[in-house]
């Protein structure tokens, strides 16, 4: 029995790809046709590859391996946190900080700092500090919880990474490749399947599509680690619509992906993790103003197609 049926995939809009002018030719093998300027993904292959991914994830969970869910785009952030927590895994659903995996020794010290500040808050020690010092510590706590809250209990590098939108998370992909960590990912028609170990072709922009795929993989993790199937509570899509995710929408047309040997420039967010000491007057980061968020063109829906939830 398949993990999900073709009807479920169709109903969730998994078959809708990007506009034909924005495709990656390497995804041609997973594309069924093009309609009204939009690529349609072959759901038969999607169902088969999802079954393969389900089996791989379940067998990995049976061996006691740990999983990290990654998805920072607006549509995926809430689902990533929900599904990872549901199956007892770790997650990153805000900005991916440089060196999250390759510089784990430093990241781990910041995770310990997060735990220390949380203990201070729980015991009331934070309230006993001078007002100005307490305010600085609370800002630091909020920053660390925002970016590292999903990996607070992670003691070592994950064994498998499950990702949404590898085009956006190219830094995370490069770190997984460098460390040899298997990567399971939902691939839209603008992605490169060569960088993924376990591909699942499908719409990575619609909430219902992301929920269906990640929910299935979360079920596989729970089943493998607990020996029984996990019942999906069937949360509605609306609870994810306004989830506070990454600060800006991703512009696929403007953003330049650095070469394999290039080192991305450090951002103010990276300093939160890599710095061993924070300046007392730490300020909140300002949203990017140089680049306007890209708006997706509406995906045309024909009479014989199921409406898609929403597209980035």
Q: For the segment 213-224, what is each residue's pLDDT rounded down to a tens digit?
A: 999 999 999 998
pTM exceeds cut of 0.85: no
CATH of domain 102-155: 1.10.287.610
The confidence score (pLDDT) of residue 20 equals 87
The confidence score (pLDDT) of residue 274 equals 54
Is pLDDT at 305 greater than 70 in this prediction? no
Domain with CATH 3.40.50.10490 in the chain: 1-16+41-99+157-246+268-273
Measure CA 82 to chain center. 11
- C-alpha triplet 96, 267, 76: angle, nearest 5°: 25
Domain with CATH 1.10.287.610 in the chain: 102-155
Give the model confidence (pLDDT) of 239-279 as tens digits.
444 444 444 444 444 333 344 444 444 454 555 555 544 43
**Under 8 Å CB-to-CB from 56, ≥6 apart: which residues?**
182, 184, 198
Give the model confidence (pLDDT) of 155-198 as tens digits.
999 999 999 999 999 999 999 999 999 999 999 999 999 999 99
Q: How many CB atoms lie within 10 A of CB 3?
A: 19
CATH of domain 1-16+41-99+157-246+268-273: 3.40.50.10490
Compute the chain's Rg from CA coordinates: 20
Give the model confidence (pLDDT) of 59-78 as tens digits.
999 999 999 999 999 989 99
């Amino acid at each position: 029995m398949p993990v999900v049926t073709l009807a479920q995939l169709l109903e969730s809009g998994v078959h809708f790809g990007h506009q034909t002018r924005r495709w990656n030719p390497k995804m041609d093998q997973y594309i069924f046709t093009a309609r009204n300027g939009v690529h349609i993904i072959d759901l038969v292959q999607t169902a088969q590859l999802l079954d393969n991914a389900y089996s791989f994830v379940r067998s990995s969970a049976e061996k006691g391996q740990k999983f990290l869910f990654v998805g920072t785009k607006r549509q995926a952030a809430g689902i990533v946190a929900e599904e990872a927590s549901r199956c007892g895994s770790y997650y990153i659903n805000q900005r991916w900080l440089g060196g999250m995996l390759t510089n784990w020794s430093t990241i781990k010290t910041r995770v310990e700092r997060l735990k220390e500040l949380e203990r201070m808050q729980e015991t009331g020690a934070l309230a006993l500090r001078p007002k100005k010092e307490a305010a600085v510590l609370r800002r630091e706590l909020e920053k660390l919880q925002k970016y590292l809250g999903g990996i607070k209990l992670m003691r070592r590098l994950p064994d498998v990474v499950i990702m949404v939108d590898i085009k956006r998370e190219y830094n995370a992909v490069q770190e997984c490749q460098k460390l040899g960590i298997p990567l399971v990912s939902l691939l839209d028609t603008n992605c490169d399947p060569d960088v993924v170990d376990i591909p699942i072709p499908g719409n990575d922009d619609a909430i219902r599509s992301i929920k269906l795929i990640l929910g299935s993989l979360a079920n596989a993790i729970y089943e493998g680690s607990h020996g029984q199937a996990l019942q999906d509570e069937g949360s509605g899509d609306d609870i994810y619509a306004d989830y506070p995710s990454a600060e800006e929408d991703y512009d696929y047309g403007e953003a330049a992906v650095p070469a394999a040997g290039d080192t991305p420039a450090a951002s103010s967010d990276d300093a939160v993790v890599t710095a061993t000491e924070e300046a007392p007057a730490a300020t909140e980061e300002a949203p990017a103003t140089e680049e306007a968020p890209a708006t997706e063109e509406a995906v045309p829906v024909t009479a014989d197609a199921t409406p898609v939830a929403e597209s980035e």
